[in-house]
Amino acid sequence: MIFKVQDSFFQNIPNAVFGIIVVKNFDNTKNYEFINKLFTQNLESSKEKFKDVKIKEEPCILPYRDAFTKLGINPNKYMCSIEALMTRISKGKDIPSINPIVDLGNALSLKYELPLGVHDIDNFIDGNIEIREATKDDIFIPFGSTEIEHPEEGEIIYASNTEVKTRRWTWRQGENSKISEKSTNLFIPIDGFTENLDKIKELQNELIDILKNELNLEVAFGIVDKNNPEFITK
* Per-residue pLDDT reduced to its tens digit, 125-171: 988 999 999 999 999 999 888 899 999 999 999 999 999 999 999 99
Selected residue with higher pLDDT from 100 and 234 = 100
pTM: 0.96
What type of residue sits at position 26?
F
Indicate the pLDDT class of residue 53, thresholds 50, 70 and 90.
Answer: very high
Q: At what angle do helices 100-112 and 197-209 cross, to 10 degrees?
A: 150
pLDDT of 177 > 90? The answer is: no
> Which one, of 120, 108, 172, 109, lies nearest residue 145 by Cα?
172
Across the beta sheet with 186-193, what order do the strands follow?
Answer: 119-120, 186-193, 16-24, 218-224
Indicate the pLDDT class of residue 176, thresholds 50, 70 and 90.
Answer: confident
116 and 203 in contact (C-beta within 8 Å)?
yes
Taking residues 55-69, report their average pLDDT.
97
Q: At what angle do helices 81-90 and 100-112 cross, to 10 degrees?
A: 80
Strands 119-120 and 186-193: antiparallel
pLDDT of 9 > 90? The answer is: yes
Q: What was the pLDDT predicted at 110?
A: 97
Q: Which of 113-122, 142-151, 193-202, 217-226 has the lowest mean pLDDT?
A: 142-151
% of the chain beyond a pLDDT of 90: 93
Strands 2-5 and 129-133: parallel
CA distance 204 to 198: 10
141 and 174 in contact (C-beta within 8 Å)?
yes
Paired strand residues for 120: 186
CA distance 191 to 197: 10
Indicate the pLDDT class of residue 215, thresholds 50, 70 and 90.
Answer: very high
Reduced to 3 states (helix: H, G, I; strand: E, B; else coil), residue 206 is helix
181 and 99 in contact (C-beta within 8 Å)?
yes
Q: What was the pLDDT predicted at 212?
A: 97
Indicate the pLDDT class of residue 178, thresholds 50, 70 and 90.
Answer: confident
Q: What was the pLDDT predicted at 225?
A: 98
pLDDT of 234 > 90? The answer is: no
Taking phi over 0 as left and psi of -120 to 50 as alpha, with beta for the rest, 169 belongs to: left
